[in-house]
Amino acid sequence: MEVEVAVIPAAGRGTRMRPATRALPKAMLPIVDRPAIQWVVEEAARAGAREIFVIVDPGVGVLIERHFNSQEEGPLAGLEHVNVHPIVQDVPRGLGDAVRTAATAVGNQPFFTLLVDNLVFPDGDVLPGMAAAAEAGSVVCLRELGTEFLARYGFIVPGEWRSEQVVEVLGAIEKPGVEAAPSKLGLIGRYLFTGKIFEALDHVEPGVGGEIQLTDAIHTVGEAGNCLGYVAADDLLDSGTPSGYLEASTILGAAHPDFGARYRAFVTEFTEGL
């Protein structure tokens, strides 16, 4: 499936990253040499996205415009052919509601959704594999996760395996906890949706935390036989917590083409001294 659109939910208060996020939006926190949001915009662009909608809190759109569309500074390297458009979510009602905010802009085209808290490892892109696995419906990216994630992530109800990496998704549960976990296959922040997800989101009632959950809409499309799961070969980085943020900075810094070698030497020397 060819996918030229991406929706990146970047609203939300970033409470796990206080005090850094008291004034700054989480998506604008730098990781190595660019804000977190740029890492995911670049990832979407590598997979063919040309129109990218970033869902932001009121007041943050101006930062996204200034960063990606600055007349003065010109286009960012590698993103010359990408259009980044902020869309404001007036009231934070959850991840599902954030994605729904892009419904009119996206229309009936298939689109990627990328969560800024989850970054791919260098050379760990998953979107092209998801697009290749897609048939007529949606594809969600999965990893087998440990029990510590059961109360933090969404998990799917697996059906038949189509191949070693592709499984039918019959449903999904947000933060099920150990008791209600339908599998160990967790939703790790990368999705390929068709317009059907918007119809599903229109009917989703507030779920976990009183929020409109994206996972509940995935449940609806899964039940209707319109969803596949793609098991990623690698984990994704979880940069939405202080310790995960440090790890992401180290891994992405060590792989940086300009100063990665120097940083790797520093880390080696530093850890030897511990």
Could you list the residues that contact ligand G1P (CB under 6 A)?
95, 115, 117-118, 153-154, 174, 186-189, 213-215
Residue nearest to ligand G1P (CB): 154
Task: State which residue, 20 or 62, has the beta carbon closest to ligand G1P.
Answer: 20
Least distance from ligand G1P to the Cβ atom of residue 9, Å: 9
Q: Using CA atoms, how far apart are residues 29 and 17, in angstroms rounded to an integer?
A: 10
Bridge-based pairing of strands 51-56 and 5-9 is: parallel
Least distance from ligand G1P to the Cβ atom of residue 218, Å: 8
Question: Could you give phi then psi for residue 21, rounded to 5 degrees?
Answer: -100, 15
Task: State which residue, 97 or 117, has the beta carbon closest to ligand G1P.
Answer: 117
Task: State which residue, 57 or 117, has the beta carbon closest to ligand G1P.
Answer: 117
Least distance from ligand G1P to the Cβ atom of residue 223, Å: 17
Task: State which residue, 101 or 213, has the beta carbon closest to ligand G1P.
Answer: 213
Least distance from ligand G1P to the Cβ atom of residue 115, Å: 5
Show the tokens assigned to 12: 């939300």
Task: State which residue, 5 or 97, has the beta carbon closest to ligand G1P.
Answer: 97
Least distance from ligand G1P to the Cβ atom of residue 229, Å: 12
Least distance from ligand G1P to the Cβ atom of residue 34, Å: 20
Task: State which residue, 16 or 162, has the beta carbon closest to ligand G1P.
Answer: 16
